């Protein structure tokens, strides 16, 4: 595990954008694993700017998103106000601003009738694409990544999960409240890539910003490795895993770990 600490959220966003850009320029037909949440928004804005102003070309790139709420999705081109699906988020925040081909975008379909089949097929699609070259992801307040909540098995694959109350509360505040969807009506379950699925990715960067993530960052990366804190398994990764923090998120870490 490599740890990078940057002064600000803006610097963290540029750092993440640099890593994505380097891969896309080096391997134009690369496979990217992408996250949702408030943290990656700065990275998406910067990548869209580089596409617009510097010709960063996504025409051969394939993407796989980490997760999607159950019961919502997936008409990328027709966003509507109350749809807080991750498909809509990705379209609004990133895809509509770049030249990716729609057929190269993969997002779990929360509207699928047979969700188990949808998850199985997603695993197959990842294999068919040759695996994921780079996964960008964040962390939940309870230590989850994607929607692998505490208690998720380290060998779990893509599947449907129940969301924790803390995740429901967090995501309600960040996304559903503004759309005037009540907490009771927002989805309480989701489809997610599994822990084992993500661990197969060739390179992972986890981007985490803000004081309110400082405690969980400390617990996940300097505490015991436990299924109760899903991100803790990443401690076992080598150089293929980079933890990218802003100063606030790194504020509880031992000094030696963050020395430049
Ligand atoms: C959701 C997503 C996670 C993401 C988390 C944190 O729960 N499923 O993949 O890491 O939000 O998001 P934020 O970046 O808003 O802290």
7 is catalytic: no
Rounded to whole angstroms, what are the CA distances from 52 to 19, 39, 148, 164? Answer: 18, 22, 34, 39
Of the two residues 89 and 72, the one the predictor is more confident about is 89
> Can you give the pLDDT at residue 2?
96
> Can you give the pLDDT at residue 80?
42
Pocket test for ligand 1, best of 9, 13, 35 (most atoms within 8 A of CB): 35
Q: Give the distance (Å) from ligand 1 centre to CA of residue 244.
A: 15
Tell me the sheet residues that pair with 67: 192
Of the two residues 254 and 26, the one the predictor is more confident about is 26
Alpha-carbon distance 163 to 54, whole Å? 40
> Can you give the pLDDT at residue 79?
46
> Whose C-alpha lies nearest to ligand 1, atom 6?
140
The answer to whether 190 and 110 are in contact (CB under 8 A) is: yes
Q: What tens digit of pLDDT does each residue of 109-152 get?
A: 999 999 999 999 999 999 999 999 999 999 999 999 999 999 99
Contact 62 CB / ligand 1 (< 6 Å): no
Alpha-carbon distance 166 to 188, whole Å? 11
Q: What tens digit of pLDDT does each residue of 165-189 get?
A: 999 999 999 888 888 888 988 899 9
Rounded to an integer, the average pLDDT of 90-116 is 95
Summary mean pLDDT of the chain: 94
> Can you give the pLDDT at residue 77?
52
> Can you give the pLDDT at residue 182?
87
Backbone angles phi, psi at 58, to 5 degrees: -105, 15
What's the whole-model pTM score? 0.95
Contact 146 CB / ligand 1 (< 6 Å): yes
Annotated catalytic residue within 46, 67, 164, 246: 67
Query: Where are any strands of DSSP class E within the chain?
Result: 2-6, 31-34, 62-65, 67-69, 105-106, 134-137, 159-162, 189-192, 203-208, 241-246
Q: What tens digit of pLDDT does each residue of 30-46 get?
A: 999 999 999 999 999 99
Contact 35 CB / ligand 1 (< 6 Å): yes
Q: What tens digit of pLDDT does each residue of 221-257 get?
A: 999 999 999 999 999 999 999 999 999 999 999 876 7
> Can you give the pLDDT at residue 260?
59
Alpha-carbon distance 45 to 33, whole Å? 17
> Can you give the pLDDT at residue 81?
41
Q: Give the distance (Å) from ligand 1 centre to CA of residue 163.
A: 12
144 is catalytic: yes
Nearest 10 degrees: CA dihedral of 22, 26, 29, 30? -50
Rounded to an integer, the average pLDDT of 148-170 is 96
What Rg value do the Cα atoms of the chain yield, rounded?
Answer: 17
DSSP, res 230: G
DSSP, res 164: P
């Amino acid at each position: 595990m490599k740890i990078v600490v940057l002064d600000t959220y803006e610097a963290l966003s540029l750092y993440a954008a640099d890593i994505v850009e380097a891969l896309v320029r080096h391997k134009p037909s690369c496979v990217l694993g992408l996250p949702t949440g408030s943290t990656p928004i700065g990275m998406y804005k910067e990548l869209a700017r580089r596409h617009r102003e510097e010709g960063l070309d996504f025409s051969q790139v394939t993407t796989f998103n980490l997760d999607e709420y159950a019961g919502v999705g997936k008409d990328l081109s027709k966003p509507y106000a109350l749809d807080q699906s991750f498909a809509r988020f990705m379209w609004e925040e990133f895809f509509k601003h770049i030249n990716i081909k729609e057929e190269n975008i993969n997002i779990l379909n929360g509207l699928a009738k047979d969700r188990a089949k949808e998850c199985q097929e997603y695993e197959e699609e990842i294999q068919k694409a040759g695996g994921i070259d780079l996964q960008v992801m964040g962390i939940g307040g309870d230590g989850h990544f994607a929607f692998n909540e505490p208690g998720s098995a380290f060998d779990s694959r893509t599947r449907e999960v129940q969301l924790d109350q803390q995740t429901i509360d967090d995501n309600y505040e960040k996304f559903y409240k503004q759309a005037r969807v009540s907490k009771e009506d927002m989805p309480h379950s989701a489809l997610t890539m599994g822990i084992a699925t993500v661990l197969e990715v060739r390179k992972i960067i986890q981007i985490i910003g803000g004081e309110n993530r400082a405690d969980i960052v400390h617990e996940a990366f300097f505490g015991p490795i436990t299924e109760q804190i899903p991100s803790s398994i990443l401690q076992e990764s080598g150089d293929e895993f980079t933890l990218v923090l802003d100063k606030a998120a790194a504020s509880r870490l031992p000094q030696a770990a963050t020395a430049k």
